[in-house]
Structure 1
Amino acid sequence: MRAAVYYGNSDLRIEDVPEPEPSEGRIKVRVSRNGICGTDLHEYYDGPIFIPPGDPHPLTGKSMPVVMGHEFSGVVADVGRGVGDVQEGDHVAIEPLYRCGECRACRTGRYNVCSKIGFHGLMADGGMAEYTVVPRDQVHRLPEGVPVEMGALVEPMAVAYHAAVQGQVDDQSSALVYGAGPIGIGIWFALRGMGLTEIDVVEPSAVRRKAIEALGARTLDPTELDVPELIADRSGGDGVDAAFDAAGVAPAIESAVQCVGEHRPLVSVAIYDKPLITPLIHLVLRERRIQGTLCYTGEDYRAVIDLMARGHYDTTGWVDTVALSDVVDQGFEQLRAGRRMKLLVDPSR
């Protein structure tokens, strides 16, 4: 079968590799679509970061080279012994986390911060391939009405949904989302799914503002106005109930910490290329906080799939598809240059 195999920095090769078969408790998936995300770009251009170059990962036993791809969906092609509740032909989305089940995080249900966490497609051969094999606990069946191609967006939308949950908001809350890339769009969708109507998306790119405005979002251009001043005027000095940083740049953090109200969070869901120096005085004087967020759990997956089944997510204008053979030049390079927003890889092309 054909697969995108990562050998190291800027070295991703489309190769013929053996087709995997499921062992006990595992499921073979014919991949429909696999999304490219910021983590993949960091691995390709700046890595290896997460992909083990030497000693194998303790949970997967895998090291480089590895088939990339952790945002994917597909059709069950075969099941191993002991799998009785998933059948050949089922449409599925994959929750690509490996967890130890023994550390405190795992024991308390927070396996997304497992001390030995691993990812299918980073620490195990992943979904940028025609077929892949995953453990049963990574599989979520898609209901009728959710196209299997849409299932590839469950993973990034679950990242966004988990971040939205950390904001501790309800349908009476107000929120700011910094960044209108795929995760920022996902946070906006998640907040809307929670009933929020008072949401502003802060984005300097006119192209990205136009894309999310077409979905129905309200935007602010930080190059044209002082966002903290606007929020202070609009809220009578109270600030918003939660802010979310999906931009990953210092100006976003500096703005956001001034916009949240007392005892309220700035939820950080970005990957930061450079160390950030945050003026802590803005946190101290109002007892604001910065809340980290990582990945998701099955609960977030189920919430996103339920919203998808109700037609909540609109991919118009921000999601495109590329062939596996074009994953570098039409995929990674286009995303890095900002010419595309979200790309799904079709392994059959």
Structure 2
Amino acid sequence: MQALQKTEAGQGLHLNDVPMPEPGAGEVLVRVHSTGVCGTDLHIDAWTASYHFLAAALPVTVGHEFSGTVVAQGEGADSLPVGQLVAVRPSVTCGRCDRCRAGDFDACTTRCGIGVMRDGGFAEYVAVPLRNCVAIPQGVDPEVAALAEPLTVSYEAVRTGGVAPGDRVLVLGPGNIGQGVALFARAAGAARVVVAGHGDAARLDVLRSMGFDEVLDLEGKNIDETLDAYAKSALFDVVIEATGAAAVLAPAMRVLKTHGVLVIAGIHAAPVPIDLTALVRRHQQLRGSYRAPERCWGEVVAFMQAHQEQLRRMITHRMPLDRAADGFALARARQASKVLVQP
């Protein structure tokens, strides 16, 4: 079969012919339907410094946002029937560390990532642990199911921020994580959701199509003056950053109310200076948000089932596996919202 792989410590990915995987004990074989192109994939392609730890796993098939159908079962992995549509949690826990033995899998100390440290979803088939498969209910579009992983990240950011009914929420970054944050903030009862991007016309259009009117492109504008205009009537209760751009953090804190919460969901390539004195004097809170707890996946799947039509708008491009490079280019240029690669 074919698979999109990182084969060497340097820039670039390669479409290779590789052996068909076989499911081991506790694993199932999944025939991939759709795999989303994510910012992580772009970083792996570019070989940015924060992803050099992959060197130990090379060659590895990338792709961690995917849905597919169970087509074979390894020993002890028959609780999901052949033909079941699944989304896959990419974080594989070891089952051996102290935390796993205590049942606290979210705190596993030696986890590894599907599509990062073990073969992932930019392929025709992939073998994955049964416990990482999340059954998708009948009637849910497999394309929408492929959004499950980024949606859990968005869900966790909103949960971490404690967004409550009536809150004013600013979302920095209109990519799929930011789009999901806007949706979950609205579902949590936020009275106002403002989403800001930079050179993100295509992604802001997707947000408008999902009913978000207060979207702004900061390209060519003074970020402080622009955000001040939106915060003039009232400062924001919660700001959720999903850009990975250090330059947005100081302006974000300036439009955050006293006792407000700033959630960092973006991955930053270098340490970021923070005005801690201002944070202390205004009693602001800084919270980090990353992967969602395993228990949240069921809640996100229920949300997907109830909001398929809105979520489908996030998907703007579909590519066969042999054109994955074109999909990566669209995502890198911000000309796409979500690109799905479909083997």
Aligned to 1:268: 264
Equivalent in the alignment of 1:308: 304
Task: Tell me by how many angstroms 1:318 deviates.
Answer: 4.8
The answer (yes or no) to whether the contact 2:42–2:328 under 8 Å persists in 1 is: yes
Runs (4+) of structure 1 moved beyond 6 Å?
none
Letter in 2 for 1:83: A
Give the letter for the 2:211 counterpart.
G
What is the DSSP-based 3-state SS (H/G/I as helix, E as strand, rest coil) of the residue aligned with 1:241? strand
CA–CA distance in structure 1, aligned partners of residues 305 and 114 of structure 2: 25
- CA root-mean-square deviation: 2.2
CA contact (8 A) 1:93 1:140 kept: yes
Match of 1:38 in 2: 39
1:158-189 residue CA offsets vs partner (Å, 9 max, x unmatched): 11111111001222222110111111101111
After the TM superposition, which residues 1-349 of structure 1 pair with which residues of structure 2 at under 5 Å, given as runs?
Answer: 1-8=1-8, 9-47=10-48, 49=51, 52-54=54-56, 63-101=57-95, 102-104=97-99, 107=102, 109=104, 111=106, 114-205=108-199, 207=201, 208-217=203-212, 218-222=214-218, 223=221, 226-230=225-229, 232-235=231-234, 239-311=235-307, 313-316=310-313, 318-328=315-325, 330-347=326-343
1:5-45 deviations in Å (ceiling 9; x for gaps): 21132232211111111122111100001111111111110
Indicate conservation of the 8 Å contact 1:209/1:219, yes or no. Answer: yes
- Structure with greater proportional helix content: 2
Equivalent pair of 2:92/2:113 in contact (CA under 8 Å)? yes
Aligned identity (percent) is: 31
In structure 2, relative to structure 1, the CA distance for the partners of 1:50 and 1:264 (3 Å cut) is farther
After superposition, give the CA deviation of every residue in 1:129-184 in whole Å (9 maximum; x if it has no partner). Answer: 11001111100011112111211110111111111110012222221101111111
CA distance in 1, matches of 2:88, 2:12: 26
Which is worse superposed, 189-198 or 13-22? 189-198
In 2, Cα distance between the equivalents of 1:163 and 1:176?
12
- Secondary structure (helix, strand or coil) at the match of 1:264 reads strand
Distance 1:169 1:132 in 2: 37
User: Is the CA contact (8 Å cut-off) linking 1:257 and 1:266 kept in structure 2?
Assistant: yes
Bigger CA drift: 31-40 or 43-52?
Answer: 43-52
Change (3 A) 1:322 1:11: same
TM-superposed CA distance for 1:103, in Å, is 4.7
CA distance in structure 1 between the aligned counterparts of 2:184 and 2:47, rounded to whole angstroms: 30
1:116 maps to amino acid: T
Q: Distance in 1 between matches of 2:117 and 2:303?
A: 30
Paired letter, 2:283: E
1:215-264 Cα deviation digits (max 9, x unpaired): 111224442672553355312xxx32211001221332112112222333
- Residues of 2 paired with 1:266 and 1:252: CA distance? 11
Deviations 1:107-144 (A, max 9, x none): 57461x53323111111111111100111110001111
| Partner deviation per Cα, 1:54-86 (whole Å, 9 max, x = no partner) | 3xxxxxxxx210111111000010111212320
Deviation at 1:205, TM superposition (A): 2.9
Give the partner amino acid of 1:5.
Q
Shift in alpha-carbon separation, 1:232–1:15, aligned structure 2, 3 A: closer
User: What is the distance in 2 between the residues matched to 1:275 and 1:188?
Assistant: 27
Q: Which amino acid aligns with 2:93?
A: R
DSSP-derived class of the 1:298 partner: coil
Structure 1 stretch 80-89 or stretch 207-216: which is displaced more?
Answer: 207-216
8 Å CA contact 1:241, 1:260 repeated in 2: yes
Distance in 1, matches of 2:84 and 2:181, equals 28
Deviates further, 113-122 or 174-183? 113-122
Aligned residues: 334
Check the 8 A contact 1:175/1:243 in 2, yes or no.
Answer: yes
How far, CA to CA, are the matches of 2:329 and 2:166 in structure 1? 41
TM-score by length of 2: 0.90
